[in-house]
């Protein structure tokens, strides 16, 4: 007879008590690129094509490169971290609009 397992916030690692409200999330970050950067001058750029090429060559840091193409995490966050995430993702920069 064990009660609900104490959850841990994926963002701040704080323990979330069973009586606390928590927020379940699934985050998928997929690398995309609409236009390739200028070749040569911008050699330091992380072009998606470059990443994929490195992946094909079986680079040692393949896992890291793979994460740049597709990164997926799911878990729960506490209410404090939820507000940070919501604020970060729902407030586009003012300059982004065409008006
Ligand atoms: Zn948290």
Each residue's pLDDT expressed in tens, for the chain with a length of 99 residues: 556 678 999 999 999 999 999 999 999 999 988 887 666 555 556 788 888 888 788 766 778 888 888 999 999 999 999 999 899 888 776 665 566
- Examine residue 98 and state whether it is found in any structural domain, yes or no: no
Please tell me the distance between residue 81's alpha carbon and the centre of ligand 1 in angstroms: 4
Whether 99 is in a domain gets the answer: no
Tokens of 95: 């300059």
Ligand 1 center to residue 22 CA distance, Å? 9
Q: How far is the CA of 33 from the centre of ligand 1 (A)?
A: 31
User: With the C-alpha atoms ordered 65, 67, 68, 70, is the resulting torsion angle positive or negative?
Assistant: positive
In a domain, 54, yes or no: yes
The answer to whether residue 83 is domain-embedded is yes
> How many Å lie between the centroid of ligand 1 and the Cα of residue 5?
17
Q: Are 77 and 87 in contact (CB under 8 A)?
A: no
Q: What is the DSSP letter of 97?
A: S
**Where in the sequence is the domain holding 71, given as residue range(s)?**
7-91
What is the pLDDT at residue 50? 83
* Position 1 in a domain: no
Q: How many structural domains does the chain have?
A: 1
């Amino acid at each position: 007879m064990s009660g609900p397992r104490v959850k841990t916030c994926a963002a701040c690692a704080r323990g979330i008590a069973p009586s606390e409200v928590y927020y379940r999330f699934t985050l998928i970050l997929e690398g995309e690129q609409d236009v390739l950067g200028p070749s040569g001058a911008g050699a330091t750029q992380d072009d998606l094509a470059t990443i994929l090429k490195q992946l094909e060559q079986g680079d040692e840091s393949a896992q890291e490169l793979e994460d740049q193409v597709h990164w997926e995490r799911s878990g729960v966050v506490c209410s404090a971290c939820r507000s940070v995430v919501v604020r970060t993702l729902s407030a586009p920069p003012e300059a982004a609009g065409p008006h």
